[in-house]
Every structure is written in C-alpha cells, then in structure tokens.
Amino acid sequence: MPAAGFAGQPVIEVERDGVHYTLLGTAHVSRASVDAVCQAIDSGQFDAVAVELDTQRHKALTQPNAMAELDLVKVIREKKVAPFAANLALAAYQRRLAEQLGIEPGAELKAAATEAAARGLPLQLIDRDVGITFRRILQRLRFWDRLKLVSSVITGLFERADVSEDDIERLKEGDLLESSFGEFARQTPSLYVTLIDERDQYMAAKLRQRNDGARRVLAVVGAGHLKGMAHYLANDTRAPEALLAELSEVTPKRRIPWITLTLTTLIAAGIVWGYLHGGLALGRALLLQWVGWTVGLTALGALLAGAHPFSLLAGAIAAPFKPFRPGLPSGMFSALVETHLRRPAYPDFLALRDDAQTLKGWYRNRVTRVLLVFMLTNLGTVAGEWLAGARILGKLLG
C-alpha cells in the first residue's frame, strides 16, 4: 500500500539507475492534493518535477488563450477531427466539475507546473498525447463499440446534470480521462489497457528517459496510476525510447475494407448489369438512384449542420465518389470549404469551451460548426450509400 506523504496524500518511492523518484498520488478534484503538491515542491527536497500532462493539456491549464492557436484546416486535413471532438468533451466535463465542486479539475497539476517554474525546477510533461490515446482506443474497438464511444462523447458534450457522487469518488481514486468517457469506459474493460495501463508504461518510460541530470524527481500523477507506474518504473527492462515509440504508434492495422469493396462492387455490377440486360434506360435509372440518394442525404446532413451553401455543394459533389476514394470523406470537403468561407475568429476560440457545452453554442461558434458540418455531412453520405445500395440490390433481385 502507498504510504501517506505530503498533506496525507499517497506516496510511493522508487530508486532506479541512481535516481530517486517520489510518485505523489493526487485526486484531480481535491484541494488537499493542491496543498500536497505545493508542500512537496516547497520542501526543497527535489531538483526536478514531472506531471501527468501532455503538451496540449499543459497549455490548456496554464495558457487559457492557447486554443486560439489551433489550425483548424490542419485538424481537418490530418483527420484529427475525432480526437479534437474528444478533447472538447473532456473540456466540457471538466467545466461541469469545476462549476459543481468549485475547483478546476487538474488544479494540482497546474499548481505543480506553476510552482516548479517559480522555483526554477525543470518540468517534464510525461503523459501521452490525448489524441494518440483516443486513436489507439478506436483501433481496439469493434464497429459497434466505436459507435457507443462516440455517443458517449457526444452525451458528455451536452450533459447538463451534476456529476454524480459516485463519479466524483471514482475520480478521486482514478483517472480523469477514464472518468470523462463515462459509463462506456466502465462497461468496456478493454479500454483499461489503453486508458490506464499503457499510460502507466508510457509515463514510467518518460521518467526513465530524463536527461537533465536530476537525482531526486517528484512525479505528480493521479492516484489511479500510482501502483502501475511504480511497478513499471522499478521493473521494466525495455529501452524507454523503443517503448515510447511503440506506445505512440497509431497506424491502423491493415484490414481489407470488405464493406467498401462489397458496396463498390454492388454499385458497379448493378449499373453494368442494368446497361447490359435492361438497356440504357435501366442503367441510367440505377445510376440516378445512386447519385440521387448519396447527393440528397449528404446535402441534408450539411443543411442540418447549418453549412454554407457552397460547403453543402462541395460535400454533395464529392458524395457519389466516396466508395472509390475511402480515405477522403465528403465531410472533409464540406468542412474545408466551410472553414474558408466562414473562417473562425479569435473570439470563437476564446468561447470554445463554453460554447461546446450546449447545442446552441455548437451552431453559434464557427469552430464547432465546422465540426458539425464535417460529422453530419459524413453521416448523410453513409446513410445515402446504404439506402442507394439497398435500392440497387432490390432492382437486381426484382
């Protein structure tokens, strides 16, 4: 069991390769944890500080206006819309906690960074990028579980009820990212590997990778990571650099896109069959079925997202060709045009965390509206593909 350390918070000591590590376990919604961090750093016992943050979360905590530096076009082109939406869900969840409890989630991590800077101590950000964690989660999940996760994230964005006492108690002993995924995380044990265990390994490897000459390091991490990190820090013999590269890999496993291949084959075979056996009129009818459903429902999705007419047009033109270019969704074209025509302004980024908590805010804020255009346009295209495929199949079997 961890020993009681600063301000009564749990502490585990680990000695490795001539470096003494003090792992200070904190609760992300506790004033006592903030006091413990300040007390530990002010004690003068440590010559370096590490915190359970990545670069993005560190900026969000210490630089309130950092979101204004976001390159939305880059997010869309690099297919990082889903991780960005997950970050918004995390921010919305944190805001709800702050309003309910009167303390900012992660305040102890912010205090660690601030105190370290004030004392001139090196600060190391040891957590893995949230976007990488989210993408690795998606890689592990089956299609239906991905839908459940996405719905859990969306629910988290617009949930207005207070966080339950049970959730708060779990958060005090667990992890903020795990808690932000809500009930889905608790019902999906496989998420534990990516959300907790992999990050335990990652953070322990980051600590071992230090090259600043520090000999007494204070690591401020959530209490739920204490035992796992201590184990890997003391016993893991893998090279830190290789392990960090492995745990940061997000290239999806190569899978044969059976659904896309089947749909594309069905469409092509149906249209060719129509021309060969039913003449020009039937072939043209089948082709129009495909174009009509994909274009129509894609346009409907963009319309529901409040897209600019030209953004709607871009997605609609791209929609019929999606099976032949699976890596370029129609929503990407709509979102890029939307960003160009309704470029988000500085105030949109400043209001992003607040606007992301309400559906009205998503339509009002130009950043979140681009995300809506991307998601609803793609949803319309997918619906159009399946309905068109069903109609073509009906013609073939009729």
Any domain includes 146? yes
User: Which residue, 247, 279, 294, sits at the end of a domain?
Assistant: 247
Per-residue pLDDT, 205: 96
- Has residue 233 been placed in a domain? yes
Return the pLDDT at 186.
Answer: 57
pTM of the model: 0.71
Identify whether residues 12 and 69 lie together within a single domain: yes
166 and 270 in a single domain? The answer is no
Low pLDDT (below 70) residues in the chain: 1-4, 64-69, 92-102, 143, 147-190, 192, 211, 251-271, 273-283, 323-327, 396-398
pLDDT at residue 256, as a whole number = 47
The CB density around residue 55, as the number of other CB atoms within 10 Å, is 11
Asked if residue 344 lies in contact with residue 72, where contact means CB atoms within 8 angstroms, the answer is yes
Owning domain of residue 96: 3-247
157 and 304 part of one domain: no
How many helices (DSSP H) and strands (DSSP E) are in the chain? 22, 6
Pairing of strands 123-125, 48-51: parallel
Residue that is last in its domain, among 188, 213, 247: 247
Q: What is the DSSP letter of 251?
A: P
The tally of CA atoms less than 13 A away on the side-chain side of residue 171 is: 23
Residue 333 phi/psi, 5° resolution? Answer: -65, -45
Nearest C-alpha neighbor of 21 from the set 45, 56, 4, 57: 45
Q: What pLDDT, on a 0 to 100 scale, did the predictor assign at position 157?
A: 58
User: How many structural domains compose the chain?
Assistant: 2
- Alpha-carbon separation of residue 167 from 29, 97, 148 (angstroms): 11, 10, 19
pLDDT of residue 274: 62
| Residue from 298, 276, 285, 311 nearest 377 by CA | 298
Q: Which residues contact 288 (CB under 8 A, 6 or more apart)?
A: none
Show which of 247, 275, 292 is a domain's final residue.
247
Q: Which residue has the tokens 């998606």?
A: 138
Do the strands 10-16 and 19-26 form a parallel or antiparallel pair, or are they unpaired?
Answer: antiparallel
Residue 253 forms part of a structural domain: no
Distances (CA, A) of 378 to 143, 291, 300: 16, 15, 11
Q: Is residue 252 part of a domain?
A: no
